Amino acid sequence: MECPHLSSSVCIAPDSAKFPNGSPSSWCCSVCRSNKSPWVCLTCSSVHCGRYVNGHAKKHYEEAQVPLANHRKPEKQDKAQHTVCMDCSSYSTYCYRCDDFVVNDTKLGLVQKVREHLQNLENSAFTADRHRKRKLLENSSINSKLLKVNGSTTAICATGLRNLGNTCFMNAILQSLSNIEQFCCYFKELPAVELRNGKTAGRRTYHTRSQGDSNVSLVEEFRKTLCALWQGSQTAFSPESLFYVVWKIMPNFRGYQQQDAHEFMRYLLDHLHLELQGGFNGVSRSAILQENSTLSASNKCCINGASTVVTAIFGGILQNEVNCLICGTESRKFDPFLDLSLDIPSQFRNKRSKNQENGPVCSLRDCLRSFTDLEELDETELYMCHKCKKKQKSTKKFWIQKLPKVLCLHLKRFHWTAYLRNKVDTYVEFPLRGLDMKCYLLEPENSGPEHCLYDLAAVVVHHGSGVGSGHYTAYATHEGRWFHFNDSTVALTDEDTVVKAKAYILFYVERQAKAGSDKL
């Protein structure tokens, strides 16, 4: 929005010596000393924490308005006011009086000058920090031990995501997708999109919260987020811009209540798919996909229109067979899918951990078998038989006609009872390598063994008892090492820890090498 308060609020010089030392993204609040979500006042250059931490930036504005409210002369209101501040991480500008993000600037361009100054400070601090770490690793004779023991040293290549207020569901999915190499690389190689409209034409638009839906790009904000996650900075990245675009185009996720990570993933992939089909700002994203030689036409799966990188990587095809038990008529239907939702068999639902001795451990094979086994439909799901001309008892069976490059498996841990939604907290054993999907294929003889084996790339875990509460984290492998992503915190972990996790969503990547002996 065009803010009318900039001239009376933006008073600091871009080279002000009042700024704290260090990188702006890690500056501490002058009140509570928190370095999460720092904002700098553009009137006095003081730094305070954002509203998702302790809200001292807003309190700073409110306290500055108290004496102004006591003045009756209108000319007193023209004096400097502490109404406008800048995010020290994303460099977006916010006006508390307008209660919205700002896209315009002062006549002298002071906002842009401050923004560039903060960017220079951040880059200088990052360069110095990277040089220091490189020297430390080069001069150390125990590099391998540092990578295994010192959490801060091992995570230098990975970046955490700040929690904006119960946004761990989004952070866990973003970190998982960022470790799907082929998917992530596609977006990072896309050309940047600059949103231009009206008076802001020719200038980069930093925020899209107050603009129309036609001027936001989920693909662009998703691209920028993925680029930030593996840039080598240890400072947590704030996915604020992406979250505001999500608010605009996915109304279900507005607000700051806890959401279902699986539901968010499906909405995210669906909207990315739709936007990629149509292109944005005159750039055809589908055209870029056509030129990508690694995604051949034979491997594409179309869901709701033309193929995109979403369907080319996550898209598979199910064959649904329904047989009438009265006349034997068989009906076949082919359904495209981006993920498979698997029930945890009822006989395992009371087994909370791997070490309990009340029967066998539930495995991913048990869940897949339950999904694909022949089952008789109950009275509420009677099949309309075209031969009998009425609804009849029938059986149903799923086959996988085409496996995707990335197999996403969702374990259905939440189910509705008469009054509430409960969580199935059963431990499900899953393999890190060699998940063999051949026995679930419709025509396994037509698929080479290398196309049926999958290795784990990422796991999303829900901690807690209910879908509307708890916390989401993710485990993912990058360049042969496993990381645990817990919002802003990224730590190196090991395979033993990963396999003990109570998985909610599993991302398996098709193995490119020849099949080995390590199978599920």
Greatest mean pLDDT among 162-176, 180-194, 363-377? 162-176
pLDDT at 123 over 80: no
For residue 21, give the amino acid letter.
N
More confident residue, 134 or 458: 458
Q: Where does the pLDDT of residue 78 fall: very low under 50, low under 70, confident under 90, or very high at 90 and above?
A: very low
pLDDT digits (tens, 9 = 90+) for 228-253: 887 766 578 889 889 989 988 888 88
pLDDT at 263 over 80: yes
Q: Where does the pLDDT of residue 255 fall: very low under 50, low under 70, confident under 90, or very high at 90 and above?
A: confident
CA-angle at 285, arms to 282 and 290, nearest 5°: 130
Q: Where does the pLDDT of residue 60 fall: very low under 50, low under 70, confident under 90, or very high at 90 and above?
A: very high
Q: Return all residues near 502 (Cβ < 8 A) that are at least 6 apart.
A: 425, 426, 427, 428, 461, 462
CA 411 vs. chain centroid, Å, equals 18
307: its two tokens: 């193929």
CA distance 242 to 219: 9
pLDDT at 345 over 80: yes
Q: Which domains does the chain carry?
A: 6-66+80-126 (3.30.40.10)
Please choose, from the candidates 399, 402, 397, the residue with its C-alpha nearest in 3D space to the C-alpha of residue 317.
402
Q: What is the DSSP letter of 243?
A: H
Lowest mean pLDDT among 96-105, 351-360, 474-483: 351-360
Phi, psi of 253 (to 5 degrees): -105, 15
pLDDT digits (tens, 9 = 90+) for 436-465: 998 888 765 555 555 689 999 999 999 887
- Enzyme catalytic residues: 168, 471
Return the pLDDT at 516. Answer: 46
pLDDT digits (tens, 9 = 90+) for 285-328: 444 444 443 444 344 455 666 789 999 999 999 988 888 887 87
CA distance 235 to 450: 39
CA distance 506 to 499: 11
Phi, psi of 137 (to 5 degrees): -70, -40
Q: What is the pTM of this model?
A: 0.65
CA distance 256 to 264: 14
What is the rounded average pLDDT of the residues 119-125? 78
Q: What is the DSSP string of 99-157?
A: TEEE----TT-HHHHHHHHHHHHHHHHHHHHHHHHHHHHHH-S-HHHHHHH-HHHHTTT
CA distance 87 to 64: 19
CA 164 vs. chain centroid, Å, equals 13
CA distance 238 to 10: 24
Are 383 and 324 within 8 A, CB to CB?
Answer: yes
CA distances from 172 to 91, 471, 480, 488, 503 (A): 24, 10, 20, 11, 12
pLDDT at 98 over 90: no
345: its two tokens: 């068999």
pLDDT digits (tens, 9 = 90+) for 350-409: 756 555 555 688 999 999 998 888 877 777 778 788 888 888 888 888 888 889 999 999
Question: Buried (b) or exposed (e) across 233-266, using 16+ Cβ within 10 A?
Answer: bbbbbbbbbbbbbbbbebeebeeeebbbbbebbb
